[in-house]
Every structure is written in C-alpha cells, then in structure tokens.
Amino acid sequence: MEKLNQNQRIILSLYILWTFMHLIFLTIAERDSPDYFWPFQIGQNRTILEAIPVFYDFSEFLVYVGSPIIIYIIYILIKKKN
C-alpha cells in the first residue's frame, strides 16, 4: 500500500466501496433470476432500487465488479506502451 500514489489510493478506495455496495446487493437478493439483467430490465413497473432484491444475481455481480478491473488492466497496458 505504501507504493501506491495518491490517485491509485483514491481509485482503490472507490473500487472497494463499489465492491462492498454490490456485495450488499448480492446479499439482499432473494433469488437468482437469469431472466432479467439489473437495472436494464427491471420489469413489472418497479423502480431500480425495488428491483434489486428480485432481479440482482451473481451474473450482475460479476459484470459490475469485474468490469472495472478489466478496464483498469487495459488502461495500465495502454499506458505502458506509450
């Protein structure tokens, strides 16, 4: 942690917060629902937050937590080439 600069510490802190938020979503989810992808298909006239317990599952967790890691790795690889 000592080798991280200020920007990297901020990014890591935000990512930890982001992951924690999605862990909470995954924990309060009632069931796995592969029929919908939260929040794009919330269905049944629900708001985005009302749909979390019904439609959020492990696939959303992987996408929303894994995507920032992949984007950051691509950024680092492109930065090293320049």
CA atoms within 13 A on the CB side of 30: 6
In a domain, 43, yes or no: yes
In a domain, 52, yes or no: yes
In a domain, 1, yes or no: no
Q: pLDDT tens digit string along 59-77?
A: 888 998 999 999 988 988 8
Q: pLDDT tens digit string along 14-67?
A: 999 999 998 988 888 776 556 666 666 666 666 767 767 777 788 888 998 999
In a domain, 39, yes or no: yes
| Residues spanned by the domain of 77 | 6-81
In a domain, 74, yes or no: yes
In a domain, 60, yes or no: yes
Total number of domains in the chain: 1
